[in-house]
A and B are shown apart, each in its own frame.
Chain A
Amino acid sequence: MGVGLISSYGMFAVQGLLFLLPQRLKAPTRRLFAGQINQFQIGALQGVLDLQGNEILVKRDQQGLRAFNSTCPHLGCRVHWEAERQRFFCPCHNGVFNADGVATEGPPAAAGQSLAQVPLEVDQKSGVVYLEVKDVRKVTT
């Protein structure tokens, strides 16, 4: 009897616990049209707004297209791209990131941080570029 009780109520407790633990470790994302690959010049950078109004910096270089979150990992200021120096610069505490988004100077470098990359996909057939951005949808019936 004791075994039966402990196992069944234990299972229930486990399910209740799973209920309470927020299941999504990642926020839900949404596919967003970002443009056509020909719109992105090699060596240049373009800003695409995500669904919350934040700017995502899409850079095209020899290797291809990459998208960086423009939020500085140090304290959340917005970084901008300096084309002449091929680097991202954060004006708040002079953080510097190289062309791959890895911090090289300033507080983010000290903490070994890099700019978060936003998942990017290029459809081979059409050349359309998609970004996976955080979704802000409301639940509807």
Chain B
Amino acid sequence: MTTPAPNEPKSGIIDRVKVMFPLDWEIVRHMGAEPIPYHLKKWWFCLGGTIMYLFVVQVATGIALTFYYVPTPQEAYASVAAITREIRFGWFIRSLHKWSGNFMIVAVMLHMLRVFFTAAYRHPRQLNWCIGFLLLGTTLTFGFTGYSLVYEQLSFWGATVATNLAEAVPLAGPWIAYFLRGGPEVGENTLTRFFILHIGVLPTVAFILIAAHILMVRLHGVTELHFAGEDVAEEKRHFQFWPDHATTEILIGVVLMYLLTIMALIFPAELGEAANPNETPAHIKPEWYFYFNFRLLKLTSLKLSVVLTMVIGAVAFFWPFIEEFIARRWRISDKVPVIAGVFAFLSFLILTVWEAFAN
């Protein structure tokens, strides 16, 4: 390509930029025109994108909050109070962060349900299911560590209970608990560790897992689903990523922002009492997404509930393989995983609601 003379008109500059950044726009256009299976027009299937968007919101608001948050036991609560009460729009950013976190966990659970009940985890997509499950764990850990950073009474005592639970993990328990706490007790080190986990370690892990997750989806392609009783014409079986699907995603984004803003206005994030290591409040409760665990703990013993949680977690993690194994061995109908899934989810719901209404 000849370099254009200096007195050339504007198009010359664009050509120079194209040489400096040799992106093949043809490939980009081709990617944009990628055919998306028609079922992605159904909103139920856009939960993955929802989670992605909410994660972006979390990162943005989280970084903003880090400008003012101070991660020491002496200053943490005061800095959160300053954000909530003094700093311009502090209450808004914090409330967005809180609600986006809650919505994200809900979206993760719904997405998991969707993937499960559309059996999109089946061979050859087992690995993506595992990655997804790890993402669930990461999201829950985000929630747990984030809430502890506020250093309210419930933050402190919730962290105490959780690390004590970790200690009950067979074999590795005490080491895990010691690692989490940064010592024998919840104290100065704990808050710093949770902070680093929340803004450093977990985001890195999340980025890697999300990249892997999306990569797997791209590699395998979106599962082609055919719903019984539906008869869709061949032309309508696919639609373009750009601008169709992209617009859908933008729509979701705006809906979410709108909903989050409304939640921030009507239910802004509040502050309870400051953490007091010498005084345990009468009723400690973890965040709602751990209610099922807490209820299990109350129904059984410490050791049993931890072991049970680990077993359930393992089953869920390895489910695609387990299902395949069972199906090959005992020839069960397609309905069995569905029933199992319904049972599992209902149990989760019951335990959660039970704990919510309990004292």
A contact residues vs B (CB 8 Å cutoff): 4-5, 8-9, 12, 15-16, 18-21, 23, 138-139, 141
The complex places the Cα of A4 from the Cα of B92 at a distance, in Å, of: 21
Asked whether, in the complex, the Cβ of A23 is within 8 Å of the Cβ of B273, the reply is: no
Decide if B197 is an interface residue (CB 8 Å cutoff): no
| Cβ contacts A to B, 15 pairs, < 8 Å | A5-B250, A5-B254, A9-B257, A15-B89, A15-B92, A16-B89, A18-B88, A18-B89, A19-B64, A19-B88, A19-B90, A20-B64, A138-B78, A141-B81, A141-B274
The complex places the Cα of A19 from the Cα of B68 at a distance, in Å, of: 10
Q: A4-B254, A141-B271 are in contact. List 20 more A-B contacts (CB 8 A).
A: A5-B250, A5-B254, A8-B254, A8-B257, A9-B257, A12-B257, A15-B89, A15-B92, A16-B60, A16-B89, A16-B93, A19-B93, A21-B88, A23-B87, A23-B88, A139-B78, A139-B82, A139-B85, A139-B86, A141-B274
Chain A, interface SS category: helix
Mark out the residues of chain B between 216 and 268 whose CB falls within 8 Å of any chain A CB in the assembled complex.
250, 254, 257
The complex places the Cα of A15 from the Cα of B265 at a distance, in Å, of: 14
Provide the residues of chain A in CB contact with B92, threshold 8 Å: 15, 19
Q: Report which of B67, B87, B89, B273 forms a contact with A141, defined as CB distance below 8 A.
A: B273
B contact residues vs A (CB 8 Å cutoff): 60, 64, 67, 78, 81-82, 85-90, 92-93, 250, 254, 257, 271, 273-274
Shortest CB-to-CB span from B95 to chain A, Å, is: 12
The complex places the Cα of A5 from the Cα of B246 at a distance, in Å, of: 14
The complex places the Cα of A23 from the Cα of B254 at a distance, in Å, of: 28
Chain B, interface SS category: helix
Provide the residues of chain A in CB contact with B67, threshold 8 Å: 20
The complex places the Cα of A20 from the Cα of B66 at a distance, in Å, of: 10
Shortest CB-to-CB span from A136 to chain B, Å, is: 13
Provide the residues of chain B in CB contact with A15, threshold 8 Å: 89, 92
The complex places the Cα of A15 from the Cα of B264 at a distance, in Å, of: 14
- Listed from nearest, the 8 A-B pairs whose CB atoms lie closest are A139-B78, A19-B89, A139-B81, A18-B88, A23-B88, A15-B89, A19-B93, A139-B82
Provide the residues of chain B in CB contact with A20, threshold 8 Å: 64, 67
The complex places the Cα of A115 from the Cα of B156 at a distance, in Å, of: 47
Shortest CB-to-CB span from B88 to chain A, Å, is: 5
Which B residue sits closest to A18, measured CB to CB? Answer: B88
Most buried by B among A4, A8, A9, A139: A139
Shortest CB-to-CB span from B81 to chain A, Å, is: 5
The complex places the Cα of A30 from the Cα of B184 at a distance, in Å, of: 42
The complex places the Cα of A140 from the Cα of B213 at a distance, in Å, of: 44
Provide the residues of chain A in CB contact with B274, threshold 8 Å: 141
Which A residue sits closest to B92, measured CB to CB? Answer: A15
Asked whether, in the complex, the Cβ of A19 is within 8 Å of the Cβ of B81, the reply is: no
Which A residue sits closest to B152, measured CB to CB? Answer: A141
The complex places the Cα of A126 from the Cα of B133 at a distance, in Å, of: 72
The complex places the Cα of A140 from the Cα of B60 at a distance, in Å, of: 28
Shortest CB-to-CB span from B99 to chain A, Å, is: 14
The complex places the Cα of A23 from the Cα of B89 at a distance, in Å, of: 11
Which A residue sits closest to B84, measured CB to CB? Answer: A139
Provide the residues of chain A in CB contact with B254, threshold 8 Å: 4-5, 8
Provide the residues of chain A in CB contact with B93, threshold 8 Å: 16, 19
The complex places the Cα of A4 from the Cα of B253 at a distance, in Å, of: 13
The complex places the Cα of A9 from the Cα of B271 at a distance, in Å, of: 28
Provide the residues of chain B in CB contact with A4, threshold 8 Å: 254
Provide the residues of chain A in CB contact with B85, threshold 8 Å: 139
The complex places the Cα of A77 from the Cα of B94 at a distance, in Å, of: 41
Which B residue sits closest to A12, measured CB to CB? Answer: B257
Provide the residues of chain A in CB contact with B90, threshold 8 Å: 19
The complex places the Cα of A8 from the Cα of B86 at a distance, in Å, of: 25
The complex places the Cα of A20 from the Cα of B93 at a distance, in Å, of: 10
Which B residue sits closest to A16, measured CB to CB? Answer: B64
Provide the residues of chain A in CB contact with B64, threshold 8 Å: 16, 19-20
The complex places the Cα of A8 from the Cα of B315 at a distance, in Å, of: 44
Provide the residues of chain B in CB contact with A141, threshold 8 Å: 81, 271, 273-274
Which A residue sits closest to B82, measured CB to CB? Answer: A139
The complex places the Cα of A4 from the Cα of B273 at a distance, in Å, of: 41
Which A residue sits closest to B272, measured CB to CB? Answer: A141
Shortest CB-to-CB span from B141 to chain A, Å, is: 26
Asked whether, in the complex, the Cβ of B78 is within 8 Å of the Cβ of A19, the reply is: no
Provide the residues of chain B in CB contact with A139, threshold 8 Å: 78, 81-82, 85-86
